[in-house]
Chain A
Amino acid sequence: MTSSRDIVFASVRRALGATGQEAPRRQEVADRIAGHPRGIIPARADLPPAQKIDLFKDMVRAADATLDHLASVADVPLAIATYLRERNLPPTILRGADPRLAALPWASAPNLDVWIGPSDGRQLAGLSHAFAGIAESGTVVMLSGPDNPSTLNLLPDHHLVVVEAADVAGDYETVWTRIRAAYGPGVLPRTVNWITGPSRSADIEQTLLLGAHGPRSLHVLLVGAAL
């Protein structure tokens, strides 16, 4: 019996006038996958480190997120406590088991109640550590894994993200190169979330409103100076 898969492939090949065995075609495809050539990269992201960080900050804010630029990772717990207090939120946050987050001096914010694990939708604030930031669009890049549950990116009303200035790239392509270096060629973690600002919808009369299904607020904690 011919499977639907066979029918679809046969039909595609008939339309293309190809058998699928042509060596030059196969080579071209193999080369493209292996070489993954970069296309056009906007010049605006090709900046010296300090200006790249400035562009990232501008683009994050242009996407309706908020941002604190902290001198050191040691400032993160206090910045979180301040963020929550200023918004009249309970001093409670849920984070992933990421060792970079575990190593923060949590004792510096003694009133902050820190929980670890994925979100079940009941938490008002979640904390994650970004793999990278992208200056050209003000995007943070989140990789799923045992230490950084994807639910933290989506369920809490307030999503706080630590981004290290050294991890801010100019463009998307630079981040793919780093992910390949970390995971190997052709392999991605289960979920890569690019997040650019808080959730929004314009589905009612084209009126843009923040806080559709994902976080109503995205707060970036940018740490350190550019390298």
Chain B
Amino acid sequence: MSVQITSPQFKANARAALADAPLQQALSKVGLSFIGRRSAAAAKLPEFEALRDSARDIKNHTLAHLDLYLERYEQQVIAAGGHVHFAVDAAEARDIVTRICREAGARTVTKGKTMIAEEIGLNDHLEAAGIQPVETDLGEYLIQIRGEAPSHIIAPAIHLNKEQVEEDFRRVHAHLAPERNLSEPTSLLAEARGELRAKFLAADVGITGANFLVAETGTSIIVTNEGNGDLTQTLPKTHIVLASLEKLVPTLEDVSQLLRVLARSATGQDMSVYTTFSTGPRRAGDVDGPQAYHVVILDNGRSGMLAGAFREMLRCIRCGACMNHCPVYQAVGGHAYGWVYPGPMGAVLTPALIGIEKGANLPNASTFCGRCEAVCPVRIPLPKLMRHWREKEFERHLTPAPQRYGLAFWAFFARRGWLYRPATRLAMWGLSRLGKAKGRFAALPLAGGWTKYRDFPTPQGDTFQAQWQARRRAQAQGQTQRGGNR
């Protein structure tokens, strides 16, 4: 899937999503399926909140010592017979992967679910090099055969319904009997299993992501429910791990803390079905497992995030809870965000990775209701970070000049406490004159509410507000069908 960035068109994307009836039907299930399961799993574990603190602290400690843990991790991978490659940016990561595939003489490559591969646009690059990538996560497979991008970080095909899947399977699996029954999810799953089994066994290289990298042992960890990533990294002769630098954790004990909050936050399971720890290639005497093991560690802007307020975003363990609980995500889905990371985590991460010029709209895609932060297992202050981006946006030249003057005007008074209060009313008046676009200033830090979550006019204006309120009413009445055609 090519990385076609449409984040600058967030507003148009969102408008289209709201008018898309099948999408709205699919999205109506997001909240229902994920929110209840997460809260039930959290409620069953008395230590859950304390584990979230522990998870946050482990990530903070690791990030503060990231250079040293990276060193240790690299040594351990090499000691286990593996190779570590560092990639400054997406282009370099693509080239490294392609080179390893070429050296392995690869014609087909199976892939476990990896968001980094989406981030660097790997599939197009492999295809251009004559190497066929095969997505093996069912959701990723569905979007690959449709030529789409994922719309959720753990449920990439959440925007599709089973009729669409049936249509695609009949088109792509044309060698199978046309009269076969594909009306139920079970028959669709069975067909995908059969089709992909042969691909698993035939692949020359397997590419996976990593949920975590363990410095103590030089281990990469993937967490799946399907077993696809595990087959991907066990069967081919070469295993390539794609990971970004912030996946590091110090020890096996540390990763156990994080695993206790990951699945509960993501799907509401106590533990995912397969948690697979891979360390180097097969050992002497082993009868299976890959003969070569490579890890590509991608920076792509993350080291820059370590320096300032956005370091906190690097704690993210990609559980998806923030988007599952986000009213904006539930209304417009993942594709509206225009790149690979949607929802609140995407609204913070995307501008950092692709540049504020392209991602400037996303931090506004929020009601600042605070639910994302309330459920984030590593306690990332997502609303605060979205506000940081908006402050930066004001400082930048993209913002129309009157608004920049407005902020400077406010800053002048804010730095002079004795003048601030009496000046506030005057300043408010002055800003509304300067700004002209009235609605903008509801979000300016004038009235002391800056540190509190606040309502901000959302990109969809009335359409979105009306829809969200209708959903809230429906929820309150215990209806199961929300959104839908309107």
Residues of A that sit less than 8 Å from B by CB: 3-5, 7-9, 11-16, 18, 20, 25-26, 28-29, 32-33, 36-44, 59, 62-63, 117-118, 120-121, 136-139, 144-146, 149-151, 153-155, 171-173, 176, 186-207, 209, 211-215
Q: Output the least CB separation between B142 and chain A (Å).
A: 7
Asked whether A203 lies within 8 Å of B137 as measured between CB atoms, the reply is yes
Asked whether B276 lies within 8 Å of A193 as measured between CB atoms, the reply is yes
Kindly list 5 other residue pairs between chains A and B, CB separation below 8 angstroms, not including A26-B68, A193-B276, A209-B185: A8-B297, A37-B253, A139-B271, A186-B76, A195-B274
- Given known A150-B289, A199-B226, contact A4–B92 (CB-CB < 8 A): yes
Within residues 183 to 211 of chain B, which ones have a CB less than 8 A from any CB in chain A? 185-186, 188-190, 192-193, 196-197, 200-201
Bound together, the chains give a CA A33 to CA B189 distance in angstroms of: 43
Asked whether A12 lies within 8 Å of B189 as measured between CB atoms, the reply is no
Contact pick for B276, options A149, A194, A207, A209, CB 8 Å: A194
- Given known A42-B260, A146-B285, A204-B138, contact A36–B216 (CB-CB < 8 A): yes
List the B residue with the shortest CB-CB distance to A35: B251
Contact pick for A200, options B226, B270, B299, CB 8 Å: B226
Give the contact-size bracket for chain B.
Answer: 35 or more
Bound together, the chains give a CA A4 to CA B226 distance in angstroms of: 35
Q: Output the least CB separation between A39 and chain B (Å).
A: 4
Q: Output the least CB separation between B324 and chain A (Å).
A: 11
Residues of B within 8 A of A120 (CB): 201
Within residues 63 to 80 of chain B, which ones have a CB less than 8 A from any CB in chain A? 64-72, 76, 80
Residues of A within 8 A of B186 (CB): 209
Question: B273 contacts the other chain (Cβ, under 8 Å)?
Answer: yes
Asked whether A194 lies within 8 Å of B271 as measured between CB atoms, the reply is yes
Within residues 107 to 140 of chain B, which ones have a CB less than 8 A from any CB in chain A? 136-139
Residues of A within 8 A of B257 (CB): 39-40
Within residues 285 to 324 of chain B, which ones have a CB less than 8 A from any CB in chain A? 285-289, 297, 299, 303-307
Interface majority SS on A: helix, strand, loop or mixed? Answer: loop
- Given known A20-B68, A63-B273, contact A190–B231 (CB-CB < 8 A): no
27 contacts between A and B (CB under 8 A): A7-B88, A8-B245, A12-B245, A15-B304, A20-B68, A28-B65, A33-B216, A33-B251, A36-B250, A43-B47, A118-B288, A121-B200, A137-B270, A146-B286, A149-B286, A151-B235, A154-B230, A196-B272, A200-B273, A201-B139, A203-B156, A204-B138, A211-B193, A212-B193, A212-B226, A212-B227, A214-B273
Contact pick for B45, options A42, A190, A196, A199, CB 8 Å: A42
Bound together, the chains give a CA A137 to CA B260 distance in angstroms of: 10
Contact pick for A205, options B26, B217, B269, B307, CB 8 Å: B26
Asked whether A214 lies within 8 Å of B227 as measured between CB atoms, the reply is yes
Asked whether A9 lies within 8 Å of B231 as measured between CB atoms, the reply is no
Bound together, the chains give a CA A205 to CA B138 distance in angstroms of: 12
Residues of A within 8 A of B72 (CB): 29, 33
Asked whether B197 lies within 8 Å of A118 as measured between CB atoms, the reply is no
- Given known A212-B225, A213-B136, A213-B193, contact A9–B67 (CB-CB < 8 A): yes
Residues of A within 8 A of B281 (CB): 190
Bound together, the chains give a CA A59 to CA B196 distance in angstroms of: 30
Bound together, the chains give a CA A5 to CA B281 distance in angstroms of: 22
Asked whether A5 lies within 8 Å of B86 as measured between CB atoms, the reply is yes
Bound together, the chains give a CA A199 to CA B273 distance in angstroms of: 6
Asked whether B33 lies within 8 Å of A191 as measured between CB atoms, the reply is no
Bound together, the chains give a CA A28 to CA B442 distance in angstroms of: 46
Residues of A within 8 A of B139 (CB): 201, 203
